[in-house]
Amino acid sequence: MTKILLIDTATEFCSAAIAVDGAVVALAESAESLRHAPLLTPQIDRCVRESGISLADLDAVAVSRGPGSYTSLRVGVSVAKGICYALGKPLIAVDTLLSLALASDDQQSLSGTPFYFLPMLDARRNEVWTCIYDNAFQPLNDPQPLILENNSFVDYLTANIPDAEKAGFVVSGNGMEKLSNVIFFENTVLGSIKKSSAAYLCTPAFQAFQMSDFQDVAYFEPLYMKPPNITVSNKSLWHQKQ
């Protein structure tokens, strides 16, 4: 049996799961935004207790690599690396957008072909992180930021897909709500998969394990897409010392 710990902290949702032979046997998740650091390790402990599978018995650790929140991604990757270092387990990285596309597969209700999967993650303001996958889940482009306004979404699809106006599209992820203010093709399905989850890492993580597609634990870095949002106090140094 192949036993994999799954960790997803790419978005406001924090979750952990344990999968055995490609099926989730324990899952813990929370939508308490900005609390990934105190939430994640108790979630992992809960999954261990519910599954009866100890960390030492794991065959690998899989983590959502992003794109996503800078700080949140660092929490997930740091915990995953710590477990891998301590127990000598291999590290698997799963593209967050791919995991959402795979999760939305059973949501596609388009009778015609071709059709494509468009996972979207909220990148604040009118921006999303997205990527286009064909019906075999092969990416047509690299994950990238996209500002959604007026015709920008239609222009993005037309630039990447021949005869895009004749194709069908399945959208997933927490960024899909931003489509309400832009133009999109008629044959577009807004799927029910809106949140990220460690459970969605299950299939790609199991496939990666079978192919021995592991990351270098020492050098692996998440796909941040954006630098951290660091604010600087406007108070003078003199006031800070008082």
Q: Report pLDDT digits (tens) over 120-166.
A: 999 988 899 999 999 899 999 999 999 999 899 999 999 999 999 88
**Mean pLDDT over the full length of the chain:** 90
Top-confidence residue, 227 or 1: 1
What is residue 238's predicted lDDT score, i.e. its pLDDT?
Answer: 47
- Could you tell me if 79 and 49 lie in one domain? yes
Top-confidence residue, 139 or 229: 139
Overall average pLDDT of the 51-80 stretch = 95
Amino acid at 170: V
What is residue 187's predicted lDDT score, i.e. its pLDDT?
Answer: 87
CA proximity to 204, closest of 85, 77, 64, 25? 64
What is residue 231's predicted lDDT score, i.e. its pLDDT?
Answer: 46
Per-residue pLDDT at 240 exceeds 90: no
Per-residue pLDDT at 167 exceeds 50: yes
CA proximity to 169, closest of 183, 189, 186, 155? 189
111: pLDDT confidence band, cut at 50, 70 and 90? low
Per-residue pLDDT at 233 exceeds 60: no
Does residue 230 lie in a domain region? no
- Could you tell me if 164 and 141 lie in one domain? yes
Q: How many independent structural domains does the chain possess?
A: 2
Does residue 45 lie in a domain region? yes
What is residue 31's predicted lDDT score, i.e. its pLDDT?
Answer: 84
Does residue 133 lie in a domain region? yes
Does residue 242 lie in a domain region? no
Top-confidence residue, 223 or 213: 213
- Could you tell me if 84 and 201 lie in one domain? yes
Side-chain-facing half-sphere of 202: CA atoms under 13 Å: 17
- Could you tell me if 62 and 140 lie in one domain? no
- For 4, the token pair is 């994999």
Overall average pLDDT of the 91-111 stretch = 86
235: pLDDT confidence band, cut at 50, 70 and 90? low
What is residue 159's predicted lDDT score, i.e. its pLDDT?
Answer: 95
114: pLDDT confidence band, cut at 50, 70 and 90? confident
Q: Lowest mean pLDDT: which of 26-30, 55-59, 65-69?
A: 65-69
Looking at residue 180, the DSSP 8-state letter turns out to be G
* Domain ranges, residue 184: 105-190
Q: Tell me phi and psi for residue 214, to 5 degrees.
A: -110, 155
- Could you tell me if 37 and 85 lie in one domain? yes
Does residue 221 lie in a domain region? no
109: pLDDT confidence band, cut at 50, 70 and 90? low
